[in-house]
């Protein structure tokens, strides 16, 4: 039997994860009931604070049907999936099973339960080696690893489902998510951490001995890679904007989410040193295969069509909120798992 909710429900797959929990907070503040659907393989029970947690796998059709019948979501925000590019090269089957086959199961459950709108967590990894800079949504797509290919495949599936079944979608191509909730309620806590800023802050906090710089001979202003960072709260706000966009738009749509500005690895480390007051030792390693020198988003389309206006665009805000999370919350949250 469907649950009578005073607020319209949204099914948020991966809602117990880093970005997913911030999205749940944003949509709750926008008047929705976020129903986090998560198998907790990478997410955390403590991160689900603005709606119910329903445990389940994407490939479990019966469980998806049960949850959708119970809450009758008006739309789905799909963030569940595996995200480590290097791991996808070693075990591509796992990535295609989780990220592609799992999405098929989700989309078919949506069709069975008459849910016709989805916001999909895509990635700048669909582009591969940049040909022009900054990269707009029409940039050629040549992913460098199975992770990026899995995101590209889902985007194509969504285009086909829009034409054939009237399932309307927005795919949001994230660049580098960073930062944490300014109120300190949630933040980044991956079981296996691969993102630069939390790795740097782990060193500042004494959890690691040093941070690795993979390549210091790139053709950039200080020899290290340049990346486009976007605050996780701004990413979350973009999902709310995407839902509003689907209220009046049909078909399948894609948008970049980035700042349009870049910081080098050394600049990130230097700023973290100033914010934390810690030395943060570094060790220069050889380049990693497939790491482009520069990756920058052109976010013009999201700003114009979604009305997306990032409020936390400065790198200092991203590092400061992430550091506050490390200092005030992370140790207690990990102890409570």
Contact 58, 222 (CB under 8 A): no
Q: Determine the Cα–Cα distance for residues 58 and 101; give it in Å rounded to an integer.
A: 9
Q: Determine the Cα–Cα distance for residues 186 and 174; give it in Å rounded to an integer.
A: 19
Among 37, 71, 96, 147, the one annotated catalytic: 147
| Angle in degrees, 0-180, between the axes of helices 18-29 and 232-246, rounded to the nearest 10 | 50
Contact 115, 74 (CB under 8 A): yes
Supply the DSSP string of 105-118, one letter for each residue: HHHHHHHHTT--EE
Tell me, yes or no, if 147 is annotated catalytic. yes
Q: Determine the Cα–Cα distance for residues 141 and 219; give it in Å rounded to an integer.
A: 23
15 phi/psi in degrees, rounded to 5: -70, -10
Angle at the Cα of 75 (from 168 to 251), degrees rounded to 5? Answer: 5
Q: Position of tokens 């990346």?
A: 227
Cα–chain center distance at 152: 15
Contact 257, 241 (CB under 8 A): no
Provide the token pair at 334.
């990990």
Supply the DSSP string of 165-188, one letter for each residue: H--EEEEEEE-EEE---TTSS---
Instruction: Please list the active-site residues.
Output: 147
């Amino acid at each position: 039997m469907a649950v009578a909710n005073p607020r319209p429900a949204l099914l948020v797959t991966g809602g117990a994860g880093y970005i997913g929990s911030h999205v749940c907070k944003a949509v709750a503040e926008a008047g929705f009931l976020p129903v986090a659907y998560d198998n907790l393989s990478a997410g955390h029970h403590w991160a689900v604070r603005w709606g119910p947690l329903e445990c389940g796998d994407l490939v479990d059709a019966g469980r998806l049907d049960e949850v959708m019948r119970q809450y009758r979501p008006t739309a789905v925000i799909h963030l569940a999936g595996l995200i480590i590019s290097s791991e996808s090269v070693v075990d591509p089957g796992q990535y295609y099973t989780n990220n592609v086959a799992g999405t098929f199961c989700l989309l078919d459950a949506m069709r069975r339960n008459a849910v016709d709108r989805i916001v999909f967590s895509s990635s700048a990894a669909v582009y591969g080696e940049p040909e022009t800079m900054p990269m707009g949504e029409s940039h050629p797509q040549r992913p460098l690893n199975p992770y990026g290919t899995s995101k590209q495949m889902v985007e194509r599936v969504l285009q086909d489902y829009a034409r054939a079944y009237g399932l309307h979608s927005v795919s949001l191509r994230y660049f580098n998510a960073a930062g944490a909730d300014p109120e300190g309620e949630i933040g980044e806590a991956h079981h296996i951490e691969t993102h630069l800023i939390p790795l740097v802050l782990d060193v500042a906090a004494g959890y690691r001995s040093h941070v690795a710089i993979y390549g210091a001979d790139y053709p950039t202003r200080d020899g290290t890679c340049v990346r486009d960072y976007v605050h996780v709260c701004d990413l979350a706000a973009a999902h709310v904007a995407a839902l509003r966009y689907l209220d009046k738009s049909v078909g399948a749509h894609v948008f970049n989410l980035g700042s349009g500005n870049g910081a080098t690895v050394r600049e990130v480390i230097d700023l973290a040193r100033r914010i934390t007051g810690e030395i943060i030792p570094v060790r220069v390693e050889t380049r990693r295969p497939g790491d482009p020198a520069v990756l920058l988003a052109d976010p013009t389309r999201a700003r114009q069509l979604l009305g997306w206006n990032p409020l936390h665009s400065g790198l200092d805000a991203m590092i400061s909120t992430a550091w506050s999370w490390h200092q005030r919350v992370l140790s207690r949250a990990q102890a409570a798992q």
